Amino acid sequence: MSNKDEQVDPHNQQFKRKEINMIKSSYKSYDELPLMLSVKILADVLGVSISSAYELTREEGFPAVHVGKRIVIPKDKFKQWLEENTNGGM
């Protein structure tokens, strides 16, 4: 299946393409990650929006640490959580 969906504009009956953009991570391996992940880095690593990453940090059992108004995720705890909640993680 293509990553583009064709849609008909009901006003002029012309076909338009709607792009589905997946966020690509700039990190290629676990070793490249910093010791503490910010929510922005978490979103980048998972290929999701920042709002989805913030939502994940509010999930029970997710290893988010609140430092003042900042939320950080320890790299080793994130890897452990990923392995426990997926089929092997990264």
When pLDDT is cut at 50, 70 and 90, the band that residue 87 belongs to is: confident
Q: 4-32: per-residue pLDDT in tens?
A: 554 555 555 554 555 545 556 677 888 89
- Residues 42, 49: Cα–Cα separation, whole Å: 9
Q: What is the mean pLDDT of residues 43-67?
A: 95
pLDDT at 63 over 80: yes
Domains parsed from the chain with CATH numbers: 24-85 (1.10.10)
The pTM of this model reads 0.68
Q: Which amino acid is at 68?
A: G
Cβ proximity of 2 and 38 under 8 Å: no
Amino acid 17: pLDDT: 52
